[in-house]
């Protein structure tokens, strides 16, 4: 599935409180609303035409806002006129869902917009003012590195590289065993040829599982709090605060025509494991 170039509109008020509302479909070159031939269309009770895009414009508003207390909301579909409906049986089904009259198409801080091929996070200026800045994330990175975490096998000092992700792994970059959370430097201990894939045996607790490099999540807008980077998403290894990993691991994003799965907000990789994230266990310097 791919996202249509113009499949939705957002209309914002120009005066406080600058309310933003989302509507399905866009305009063609003749300035008329454009819908595909297979899109669901109908006439409303007041004589207006309404409809849904072929693959739908889905919206999810988090409960308790986009904060450390946030909880997932319910995915809904938005129509051309901005009405709210429950989801169709499949993404492109002709039969629309039931109208949810008590809900509106007004976007709020943390709303997710799914376009069947792309998922957007809506943040407000007010919400972003409470979000950790890139400068704050950099300070947290330096604080971790200043603690001089060590590899329990090689006893070499580990350090997170700069916030800008590189294509190659840094020599001092931390690695983690995803089944237990023990952090090491890269080494070949426990790498047996008979094991399939990337599974390795942790020298600290002997648990067997994936062994991946750790990367600090650098997009501040995805954080729900300013807590220290103590947890990592599995299996990609992106590191952020505990409450941020806990929140995103609960968010089931639409995938394909009728399935949902949780994904890392930094790389969109589908999460794995019982929780979708792990607590990192660092070893401090011996001196």
pLDDT per residue over 2-58, tens digit each? 444 558 999 999 999 999 999 999 877 777 888 888 889 999 988 889 999 999 999
Could you tell me which residue, 60 or 36, shows the higher pLDDT?
60
- 182 and 252 share a domain? yes
pLDDT per residue over 163-198, tens digit each? 766 667 888 999 999 999 999 999 876 665 544 456
The helix (run of H) or strand (run of E) holding residue 175 is strand 175-177
Of 114, 130, 146, the position where a domain reaches its end is 130
Kindly state the tokens that stand for 276: 């979708």
- 153 and 120 share a domain? no
The span from the CA of 227 to the CA of 233, in Å, is 15
Q: Is residue 15 situated within a structural domain?
A: yes
Asked whether residue 214 carries a pLDDT value surpassing 70, the answer given is: yes
Instruction: State the total domains in the chain.
Output: 2
- 46 and 85 share a domain? yes
The span from the CA of 217 to the CA of 226, in Å, is 12
Of 76, 97, 130, the position where a domain reaches its end is 130
pTM of the model: 0.90
Query: By C-alpha distance, which of 211, 219, 225 is closest to 264?
Result: 219
pLDDT per residue over 196-207, tens digit each? 456 889 999 999
- 37 and 97 share a domain? yes
Residue 1: per-residue pLDDT: 41
- 103 and 206 share a domain? no
Domain of 234, in residue numbers: 134-279
Q: Is residue 286 situated within a structural domain?
A: no
Cα separations in angstroms, 240 against 56, 149, 212, 234 = 32, 17, 16, 12
């Amino acid at each position: 599935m791919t996202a249509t170039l113009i499949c939705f509109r957002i209309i914002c008020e120009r005066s406080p409180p600058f309310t933003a509302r989302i509507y399905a479909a866009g305009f063609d070159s003749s300035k008329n609303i454009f819908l595909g031939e297979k899109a669901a269309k109908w006439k409303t009770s007041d004589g207006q035409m309404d409809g849904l895009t072929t693959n739908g414009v889905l919206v999810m508003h988090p409960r308790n806002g986009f904060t450390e207390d946030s909880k997932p909301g319910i995915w809904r579909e938005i129509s051309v006129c901005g009405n709210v409906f429950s989801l169709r049986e499949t993404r492109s089904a002709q039969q629309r869902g039931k109208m949810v009259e008590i809900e509106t198409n007004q976007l709020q801080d943390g709303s997710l917009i799914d376009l069947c091929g792309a998922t957007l996070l809506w943040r407000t200026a007010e919400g972003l003012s409470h979000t950790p800045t890139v400068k704050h994330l950099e300070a947290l990175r330096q604080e971790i590195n200043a603690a001089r975490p060590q590899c329990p096998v090689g006893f070499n000092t580990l350090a997170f590289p700069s916030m800008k992700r590189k294509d190659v792994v840094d020599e001092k970059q931390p690695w983690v065993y995803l089944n237990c959370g023990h952090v090491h430097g890269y080494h070949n201990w426990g790498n047996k040829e008979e094991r399939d894939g990337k599974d390795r045996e942790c020298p600290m607790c002997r648990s067997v599982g994936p062994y991946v490099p750790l990367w600090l999540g650098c997009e501040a807008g995805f954080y729900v709090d300013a807590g220290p980077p103590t947890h990592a998403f599995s299996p990609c290894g992106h590191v952020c605060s505990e409450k941020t990993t806990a929140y995103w691991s609960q968010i089931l994003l639409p995938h394909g025509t009728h399935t949902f799965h949780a994904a890392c907000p930094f790389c969109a990789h589908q999460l794995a494991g019982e929780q979708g994230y792990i607590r990192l266990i660092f070893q401090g310097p011996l001196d």
